[in-house]
Amino acid sequence: EFILLGLPDTRELQVLFFTFFFLAYAMVLLGNLLIIVTVRTDPKLSSPMYFLLCNLSFIDICYTSVTSPRMLADLLSRKKAIAFEDCIVQLFFLHFFGASEMFLLTVMTYDRYTAICKPLHYTAIMSRQVCWALVLACWAGGFLHSIVQTLLTIQLPFCGPNTIDNYFCDVPPVIRLACTDIYVTEWLIASNSGLVSLVCFFVLVGSYTFILVTVRVRLTEGHWKALSTCASHMMVVTLFFVPCIFIYLQPFSTFPSDKHIYVIPTVFSPVMNPFIYTLRSNEVKASMRRLWKRCR
């Protein structure tokens, strides 16, 4: 088994962190479930954008559920032990849902580019079949990425230290415990996770930049709204991708633990996604009001 050191050192801080992370996890679950129910029950929200947002909400629930319940339980327990098999399972699903979300955010940027820059061809380009194919490709890409990370980790021998300086199992802190030279393995893992994060981030930045350049000469009220939406999306994308790039695109053995940086993509980003991507939409808010009236 491995011993997770967690985040705080004192009992008072543990209680404070538990309260904060419990509220954050509850917001992720309730916010994203509300979005899924709203989109699925309202025929007016049948556009490709809301189909992709519904999938993003589902991934956010899965992604944060990989780490948050375990972290909350450990904050109230004295011995924060996790079996080796459970650690590997957590590692696998963390990268599976995390990479799937990266790919889905990239697809959503393409959707916004099509809607803003090619509005007359939007429904033809982003048909229902294309949307399903893109979503399935995101899940397949996340699975392939995760299985590579997992296989590179489990083939290492673990026969020495068993203390993980983090609040969950991830590749960098786990492979630091291997009792062998991990130079080649860590660069293989960095070239996988790090490059996936970096390439997706550059594609997202490039897409939003192209959108800005395209609409700069026709700033109508609708385009100002589109620019505002792109700016808020870019803020959340940066919060999600930049920590991942910093964590994974480096040799793990030469850098200290980044457990406090992990909080940004695993807690803050899933909390903000429902507000930034969906709840700022007047259509969604109107649909939620109609749903509330039907349920009363």
- CB 163, CB 5: distance < 8 Å: yes
Domain that residue 96 falls in? 2-295
For strands 2-4 and 81-82, give the pairing.
Answer: antiparallel
- CB 21, CB 76: distance < 8 Å: no
pTM of the predicted model as reported, rounded to 2 decimal places: 0.90
Distance in angstroms (rounded) separating the CA atoms of residues 59 and 42:
21
Name residue 215's amino acid.
V
pLDDT of residue 135: 96
Residue 2, H or E segment: strand 2-4
Distance in angstroms (rounded) separating the CA atoms of residues 2 and 128:
45
pLDDT of residue 223: 58
pLDDT of residue 138: 96
Distance in angstroms (rounded) separating the CA atoms of residues 209 and 249:
24
CA angle at 23 for the pair 22 and 28, rounded to the nearest 5°: 95
Domain holding 160: CATH number?
Answer: 1.20.1070.10
Residue 21, H or E segment: helix 11-41
Mean pLDDT by 10 residues, the chain (296 residues): 79 85 93 89 84 92 92 84 91 94 91 83 88 95 94 87 86 86 82 86 87 68 62 80 85 63 86 76 77 76
pLDDT of residue 39: 87
Query: In the chain, count of helices (H) and strands (E)?
Result: 12, 3
Alpha helices (H) along 126-260: 128-154, 171-175, 183-189, 195-215, 221-248
- CB 186, CB 252: distance < 8 Å: yes
Distance in angstroms (rounded) separating the CA atoms of residues 33 and 11:
32
Distance in angstroms (rounded) separating the CA atoms of residues 84 and 257:
20
How many domains is the chain partitioned into structurally? 1
